[in-house]
Amino acid sequence: MRVGILGGTFDPVHYGHVLTVDAAASRYGFERVLYVPARVSPHKGQPAADARHRVAMLALALAGRQNASILLDELDREPPSYTVDTLRILSARLLHDELWLLMGTDTLAGLAGWKDPEEIARLARIAAFHRAPYVGDRARVPDIPGLQERVEVFDAGSFTISATDLRRDIARGADVRGRIPDAVAEYITKHRLYETGAGA
């Protein structure tokens, strides 16, 4: 079975997360998709929203997607959350499955700076969706041993949504519907997430 894996802080989850995974699942035949919220990303630092809120929003965004589930392993480990550690655990747990790690081409370009990138390439194939500025011919596969033959770069559509922009817009009271699922927008409003001066 092919299993797609998308990690991130999901702070907050938005359509760019969900629809790119839908496109990848259709293209590569994923029978199962795992969303892996990070406790603390080594590349981003402490998330703005508490983990319980990020998981709740993710569950709302994935409602109705029967093949999608949330993996909480990284939230249970001491930070920071390293992808290679999660892949090691999953490869041992899902012995007969083929793991595919999903990321944007912007993330792929910096993969050499991750913990044990060669091990990541060994443990999982990588499906990288176009994300500015690494779009089309500008998409770059870093020079990591064993990586070139393990990467598929594809166009998942024009999703330029940024969680950073969403948090900024929410803080200034802008309407963010259309970029995040309605149920997530309602949750953010109810819990006053990302508002200036509001607690996470």
Q: Is residue 74 one of the residues assigned to a domain?
A: yes
β-bridge partners, 151: 126
- Tens of pLDDT, residue by residue over 87-109, are 999 999 999 999 999 999 999 99
Structure tokens at 142: 């870093």
Instruction: Kindly give the parts of the chain with pLDDT less than 70.
Output: 158, 197-200
Asked if the structure places residue 196 within a domain, the reply is no
Structure tokens at 96: 């007969």
Instruction: Tell me how many domains the chain contains.
Output: 1
Q: Which positions ≥6 away from 95 have C-beta within 8 Å? A: none
The answer to whether position 178 is within a domain reads yes
Q: Tell me which residue range forms the domain holding 98.
A: 2-191
- Using omega within 30 degrees of 0 as the cis cutoff, is the peptide bond preceding 117 cis? no
Look at residue 115 and tell me if it is in a domain: yes
CATH of the domain at 54: 3.40.50.620
138 belongs to a structural domain: yes
φ and ψ of 36, to 5 deg: -120, 95
Question: Residue 158: inside a domain, yes or no?
Answer: yes
Instruction: State pTM to two decimals.
Output: 0.93
Q: Give the pLDDT confidence score for residue 200 in this predicted structure.
A: 38
**Structural domain includes residue 199:** no
Q: Is residue 200 part of a domain?
A: no
User: Distance between CA atoms of 162 and 109, rounded to whole angstroms?
Assistant: 18
